[in-house]
Chain A
């Protein structure tokens, strides 16, 4: 007994009843097995039902390729039900890539010539949906015949099939071009619409066709004018607009024909003005027509007045309560902003209003358009708006907004101070979204604007600490520590803070222990960059203290355009950081590089004279300057040769680190220009009791002959009382197979080494 197969609707119900994906799969697999069996058995009665079920599960994402041949069988059947489902299956399952698709060509040919309209309709529809190039070539003659048949039902479909055929096989244009002239005289809207679509397709593909069809421009104008003035027709109107689909299609064709062609543009001028002014704009249908009209006006050689009218229509669109209309207006204005800049400028206030849109795709358009409208006369006002936008805009727009503002600022900045302000504001508001070179640009900018140093520093400092009335060392250190510890700081920010602390270590006169502590903590930080910095800085404290001052000195002004230079400027140029003035929990610290103290140095030149900076709300600055421990850079002390014997020399070089006046660093250098090596070299020293001496490990014990690598050794001498320096040296070494011992006091020690 044959189990009756499930009806389509029953299967759908069963599938929908499945509670889990697995259950659904089970149901479907079971049914597909039945379907396969049924196909194998070749049951013609239920074939269409089986295929329909297969098409349903195919839509759910399951494989259905085994139904392809069944489509062919159904199409070939004489039953309309079969054909309907068969053709549907062909459209859904048959792919150009499979050879199987060619097999339906014959069926289609038969069906096209059968004369039963619904059947012809099916065949044409399928052909226009999935017809491959081969099929189109084969069946073009059949379709051509149907173009001029009496029945509008078939003709309209044949015309659109021709459109598809031309898309697939452009050469077929020669077949389908001739009938167009006659078709254009039809009154049936469907036929007209199809014809205009066909002509559009022909013109887009062939300049010759384009030239050919220019002569129908007057006829098109006539058709459109009739439509517009015809008045309401129940059958084709939407919201009081006569057949908007047809109007839009005609306008589009006119656009193509009028482009770069004075005469055609002239012919359509009046009509376009008429449509632009008379179309009812209360509903979307009218606006759709108006929109197409605007696009056409802007693309052809239209009169200036007409262009202004078009831009004004777009401006009105911007005020429409329908956000779809606002969207197309913004998009179109963006396209026009280059070619019709002044006309678009007139709508700037409305555009700026659109920045406040809640819909991100609209505010993005508004942003692009606003940025395009910035010029030197409106830059201040625009920047205000844009910066307000930056503060509240969605995160994915921040980066674009920030870079847009910065670019515009660069092009149109009225003053340097304004420019700096703008950049600072952008950085505080959206620092994380700003490109790295913005930072370098700012440092360069500030560096180059001497007169604004004080102002910049004040702004930066105020940005850094919300509420500081007195500045002293402790506060600065505490602030930087806070920045370091804040969980909101990015690693980059922390990096800058660390480096800033290091620089301060050479400039503040207090004990460096606090700084050293903080730095050493970061020696075990998880972030590799921070850890490396911390360890390097710690080493700087421990082993190379004498070099610390030199390394952390003020950087010279960097050249703007060198990417290398920028990197260095970023890395080692320091100072205070900008942090969020207001608590914005989602916004991590904006970080900024600026050399706070170096700017002070630069600005004031000689730091001993603070008063020439304004004492004002940044009175804090004066206090900072008042700190006595920023001494002038010391003059270098000349080297001293203290010993020479048989080609072996000993030199002393002196460094007085400026931040520590009690400290004297002496580096002894032993060189050997003789023919014999010096080995087992040991140097010992003694100083008066009031001084402290610390000998560090020498670089080695051997100086090879003939100018080989010298030995160096560092002496640290603490002389807090500034007692006169006296130094006794004892040297022992082997040279020319002899032991040498020399004890002597160093004479002629320079006064600068202890005063």
Chain B
């Protein structure tokens, strides 16, 4: 299963953190700091996989943002890359040509979208259309029930 997903900028600023395994705040901070250091030190032409602690880390850089997933030993790295890409596509569709600023100023939306795509670290729906429709409906419901 996926243990956690992080989004962070080139300058080491955290933009999103989703933890699928119960971890204390202190431990999370430590892991985030450590992993950010490792990933930011990677050169551009290196492969997207690395080993960190007892986990496998799959990361990909999209413009100024690093998308970083920690998976377990028996998980498939290549499909995790597809997973990351799917999430980026969803964000892109939702925000219309997404950029880092969208995720900064609308971080709750980024979480909501992620939560329609993954649950407990596993993929819930493999249809882009279906996920986007669900978000749309939730947004509608929010508007119906008062100002956001």
Contact = CB atoms under 8 A, between A and B. Distances in A.
Interface of A: 9, 12-13, 16, 52, 55-56, 59-61, 79-81, 84-85, 88, 95-97, 116-118, 121, 124-125, 128-130, 132, 153, 156-157, 160-161, 163-164, 167, 189-190, 193-194, 197, 235-236, 238, 243-246, 248, 252, 284-285, 287-289, 291-292, 295, 323-328, 358-362
B148 A324 contact: no
A52 B122 CA distance: 26
A494 to B, nearest CB: 35
Closest 3 CB pairs of A and B: A288-B78, A128-B120, A190-B125
A52 B19 CA distance: 18
Nearest to B20: A129
Contacts of A246: 126
A292 B107 CA distance: 34
Given A61-B29, A124-B119, A360 B46 contact: yes
A741 to B, nearest CB: 86
A9 B109 CA distance: 13
B145 A81 contact: yes
Contacts, number: 164
14 contacts: A13-B105, A59-B17, A80-B142, A116-B141, A118-B138, A129-B119, A156-B125, A197-B122, A245-B82, A288-B79, A288-B82, A291-B76, A295-B76, A360-B46
Contacts of B111: 88
A328 B126 contact: no
Interface in B48-79: 48-51, 74, 76-79
Contacts of B22: 95-96, 130, 132
Contact of A359 (B45, B74, B81, B112): B45
B126 A243 contact: yes
B127 interface: yes
Contacts of A287: 78
Nearest to A119: B141
Interface residues of B, number: 59
Contacts of A84: 108, 112, 138, 142
Contact of B124 (A193, A244, A248, A325): A193
Residue among B105, B122, B144 having the largest count of chain A Cβ atoms under 10 Å: B122
A90 B34 CA distance: 25
Contacts of A118: 134, 137-138, 141
A327 B147 CA distance: 50
Given A60-B13, A61-B14, A236-B127, 12 more contacts: A13-B105, A59-B107, A79-B145, A79-B146, A80-B144, A88-B111, A124-B119, A128-B120, A161-B119, A167-B120, A244-B79, A284-B82
Q: B45, B78, B112, B129: which has the most chain A beta carbons within 10 Å? A: B78
A193 B125 CA distance: 8
B81 A284 contact: yes
B41 to A, nearest CB: 11
A197 B126 CA distance: 13
A248 B119 contact: no
Contact of B134 (A13, A121, A236, A243): A121
Interface in B110-145: 111-112, 115-116, 119-120, 122-130, 134, 137-138, 141-142, 144-145
A292 B77 CA distance: 10
Given A324-B47, A324-B78, A189 B127 contact: yes
Contact of A85 (B108, B124, B130): B108
Nearest to B43: A359
Contacts of A161: 119-120
A620 B79 CA distance: 65
B104 interface: yes
A339 B129 CA distance: 44
A9 B141 CA distance: 21
B35 interface: no
Residue of B13, B25, B79 contacting most chain A CB atoms (<10 Å): B79
B24 interface: yes
Contacts of A285: 82
B46 to A, nearest CB: 5
A583 B125 CA distance: 60
A252 B119 CA distance: 19
Interface string B84-124: 00100000000000000000110110011001100110111
Nearest to B144: A80
A261 B16 CA distance: 43
Contacts of B142: 80-81, 84
A236 B120 contact: no
Given A288-B79, A327-B49, A160 B126 contact: no
A189 B127 CA distance: 8
B108 A52 contact: yes
B46 A361 contact: yes
A189 B126 contact: yes
B141 to A, nearest CB: 5
B77 A328 contact: yes
Contacts of A167: 1, 120
Contacts of B43: 359
B76 A248 contact: yes
Nearest to B1: A167
B130 A88 contact: no
A288 B125 contact: no
Contacts of B148: 81
A645 to B, nearest CB: 84
A194 B124 contact: yes
Given A157-B119, A235-B129, A12 B20 contact: no
A4 to B, nearest CB: 13
Given A84-B112, A238-B82, A288-B79, A359 B141 contact: no
Contacts of B146: 79, 81
A324 B85 CA distance: 15
B100 to A, nearest CB: 12
Contacts of B74: 252
B120 A324 contact: no
A361 B104 CA distance: 32
A288 B81 contact: yes
Contacts of B82: 238, 244-245, 284-285, 288
A733 B107 CA distance: 103
Contacts of B45: 323, 358-359
B130 A190 contact: yes
